[in-house]
């Protein structure tokens, strides 16, 4: 099993979360964040993006959040690190929210012939805006049609994305593109290698009643 630590997520915009890689506690000073594609950036960039997305100046956000403009500027430029409660207040003043979630754990499943895959312990969940987004898959998932945009609101497009991710994806692909409820709905229609279907079947069977 590959456990992931509890993390705090800042929802910056539709489909664009950022993870605060820090223990959850109001007195903990935030130092660094991890983008959901894996790139690291300082907290200041996060606060800057929150403010820019909200269309606010430093003066406006500082006043709305009860923070001085000097302090906000120092946070954005990385000269100071805000406490978690301070960052939460700033984010809220910009119309965003700070929530806590658990990254899913994954287990290794044997596919035979020396191949393995990683399957989540529980079905992943996506926010509606992510579950029905228009997405362009990375080349390692969709090498045959690079640049193609899949509309997850379309059932056939969603099925193709799920087939590619389940067969070829890494854990970060699963948590980015797969919604467990929609996966269950599509399950019987997906065209998957038998070994992949067998690896995922226990998750589906756990939530779908068996009819005698």
pLDDT confidence bin for 13, thresholds 50/70/90 = very low
Domains and CATH numbers, the chain: 6-102 (1.10.260.40), 106-207 (no CATH)
Stronger pLDDT, 59 or 127, i.e. the higher one: 59
Contacts of 195 (CB under 8 A, 6+ apart): 111, 112, 115
What torsion, rounded to 10 degrees, do the Cα atoms 140, 144, 150, 154 define? -120
In the chain, pLDDT over 70 holds for what percent of residues?
75
pLDDT confidence bin for 127, thresholds 50/70/90 = confident
Q: Annotate 90-122 with b (16+ C-beta within 10 A) or e (fewer).
A: bbebbebebeeeebbebeebeeeeeeebbbbee
pLDDT tens digits, one per residue of 39-75: 333 456 678 888 988 999 999 999 999 999 999 998 8
**Residue 29 predicted with pLDDT over 50:** no
pTM (2 d.p.): 0.57
The predicted pLDDT at position 85 comes to: 86
What does the mean pLDDT of the chain come to? 79
The predicted pLDDT at position 151 comes to: 97
The predicted pLDDT at position 110 comes to: 87
The mean-pLDDT minimum among 50-59, 75-84, 164-173 falls in 75-84
The predicted pLDDT at position 3 comes to: 36
């Amino acid at each position: 099993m590959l456990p992931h630590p509890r993390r705090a997520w800042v929802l910056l915009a539709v489909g664009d979360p950022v993870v605060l890689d820090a223990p959850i506690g109001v007195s903990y000073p935030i130092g660094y964040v991890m983008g959901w594609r894996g790139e690291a950036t300082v907290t200041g960039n996060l606060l800057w993006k929150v403010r820019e997305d909200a269309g606010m100046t430093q003066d406006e956000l500082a006043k709305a959040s009860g923070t001085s403009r000097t302090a906000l500027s120092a946070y954005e430029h990385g000269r100071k690190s805000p406490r978690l409660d301070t960052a939460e207040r700033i984010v809220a003043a910009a119309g965003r929210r700070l929530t806590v979630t658990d990254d899913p754990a994954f287990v290794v499943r044997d596919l035979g012939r020396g191949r393995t895959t990683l399957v989540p312990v529980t079905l992943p969940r996506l926010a509606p805006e992510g579950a029905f987004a228009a997405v362009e898959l990375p080349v390692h998932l969709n090498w045959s049609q690079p640049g193609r945009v899949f509309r997850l609101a379309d059932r056939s497009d969603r099925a193709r994305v799920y087939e590619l991710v389940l067969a070829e994806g890494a854990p970060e692909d699963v948590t980015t593109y797969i919604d467990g409820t929609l996966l269950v709905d599509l399950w019987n229609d997906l065209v998957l290698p038998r070994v992949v279907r067998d690896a995922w079947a226990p998750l589906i069977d756990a939530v779908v009643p068996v009819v005698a």
